[in-house]
Amino acid sequence: MTVQRSQQPETANTAPTLNALSRAAEGGEASAYQALVQRLAGPITGFAARLLGDRTEAEDVAQESFTRLWRAYDLSPPKDSVRAWLYRTAHNLCIDRLRKRARTTAMPDGHDPVDPTANAETKAIERDEHKALQAALNALPPRQHSAILLVHYQGLSGREAAGVMEIGEEALESLLARGRRSLRAALTPPHMSGKGRAS
């Protein structure tokens, strides 16, 4: 299947909304479903990769999420935001995989957020900081980890993230606050946290 492109370029004002595409896909429009996949596959895969620490597994989760969406159109289509529905599905699939593994892992190979124009010393520092952040994220309990990723890395609103995790917004805020505290504690150098001071 190929998505037909319009003569005019899509802009924020002319691009169909995700929910409009979802309604069209529910009506059997394959090109609308393809457009949804094109727009959301990257963010869903990125979210799953951060949770799982494995790009290949993340791609499997994204594919399974979109397969479930396609099936859902026949059985029980998303009632609210298709974006939140996909994140919730991917989140649940990731949690299932993490439970099976019973451990967390580092970021996938090849994921290097270091600025390629930086000098060698700066790159080394940035790489070390990224590794420390990733280790701190991976050490969080799964629900805090998910909350932080959804809000701070995927850009979901509090309401959307709460919907994805199937919890209330207050519970989400509590998870975010606890997660941030844990990250701050893990990333604060000992000389700044009061530890290791002479008495």
Domain locations in the chain as residue ranges:
15-105, 116-190
Q: Please, what CATH class does the domain formed by 116-190 belong to?
A: mainly alpha
Neighbours of 99 (CB within 10 A): 9
| Statement: residue 59 has pLDDT above 90 | yes
pLDDT for position 14: 45
| Confidence band for 44, pLDDT divided at 50, 70 and 90 | very high
Express each pLDDT in 9-43 by its tens digit. 444 444 578 889 988 888 888 999 999 999 999 99
**Position with higher pLDDT, 193 vs 95:** 95
Please determine whether the domains at 15-105 and 116-190 fall in the same fold group of CATH: no
Instruction: Give me the CATH topology for the region 15-105.
Output: Rna Polymerase Sigma Factor; Chain: A (1.10.1740)
Return the number of other C-beta atoms located less than 10 Å from residue 90's C-beta.
26
For the chain, count helices (H), then strands (E).
9, 0
Query: How many C-beta neighbours within 10 Å does residue 33 have?
Result: 21
What is the spatial distance between Cα 178 and Cα 171, in angstroms, rounded to a whole number? Answer: 11
- Does residue 107 register a pLDDT over 80? no
pTM value is 0.63
